[in-house]
Amino acid sequence: MARERISHKSDSEILLMREAGLITAAALNAVREAIRPGVSTLELDQIADAKIKSLGGSSNFKLVPGYHHTICSSINDEVVHGIPSKDRILEAGDIISIDCGAIIPSGWNGDSAFSFVVPGGDPELMAKRQALSDACEGSLWAGIAALASATRLNEVGRAVEKAIRSKGAFGILQDYIGHGVGRSMHEDPAVFNYQTRDLGPVVENGLVIAIEPMITAGSQSVKILADDWTVSTKDGSDSSHWEHTVARHSGGIWVLTAEDGGAAGLAPYGITPVPVKS
């Protein structure tokens, strides 16, 4: 495995990344509140963009060559990288994953995603999709909890995989993984959502990573649609994606893209997130 170049962040840099993380969280909250049957994914994109700008940030997704939107919106069998469109209208019972990121003027990034089941659909279908989303979200928090005490990075992947497997026969994407976050939205190290033979890099203070499990209700096999962006399951099964940007620092762990720093999600693990001292 090629040696990775991890840029560790100082406490003051992590504080700046918290600003980017909170703007990202606010944008995702605004989108979540707007999700309902009949809304287009382009409307959700505009809501996220307006929120980010109102808080002094800008979209980092728009900095990705060839991508022109603030969110990715992926519905049902679409896993990630769905492109917002005025013609894509949410229906009751859909499961939608929203991925979003903000960059602040000093150049630091946030990156986060959630899945949501659109209210008002068939109860049995909605319950299945909610269980899928819950399994994915739960595995994210298991991974974050593992990072709090990890000595090697793949302890995160092991914890994510174990959490998913404990909830059912879900597919775990192999070709799409988490990553370091900093002055670039995507940087080293690679953050796998499953156990790898290599234990991964040694975890040191100042590591800031996006942990982002992507799972399906069926096979892990995916294809890229004709738009060259949307990643969709080959078997048509539903999917879910959850993500947070997380800092490990000398005082502990801090979920930069969660408004509460990760307190609620980490409570079941007996872990209290610790903000960096300003």
Catalog residues that contact Mg ion under the rule CB under 5 A.
99, 111, 113, 210, 243
Q: Least distance from C-beta 71 to Mg ion, angstroms?
A: 9
Token output for 80: 């990630």
Is the Cβ of residue 242 or residue 254 nearer to Mg ion in the bound state? 242
CA atoms within 13 A on the CB side of 217: 18
Q: Which is nearer to Mg ion, 146 or 208 (CB)?
A: 208
CB of 27 to Mg ion, least distance (A): 12
Give min distance, CB of 243 to Mg ion, in A: 5
Whether the CA torsion 86, 87, 88, 92 is positive or negative: it is positive
Minimum Å distance from CB 113 to Mg ion? 5
Q: Which is nearer to Mg ion, 232 or 245 (CB)?
A: 245
**Nearest one of 227, 211, 75, 110 to 153, comparing CA atoms:** 211
Q: What distances in angstroms separate CA 8 from CA 107, 118, 200, 203, one per listed residue? A: 15, 39, 16, 10
For Mg ion, the closer of residues 102 and 113 by Cβ is: 113
Closest CA to 28 of 88, 80, 81, 100: 100
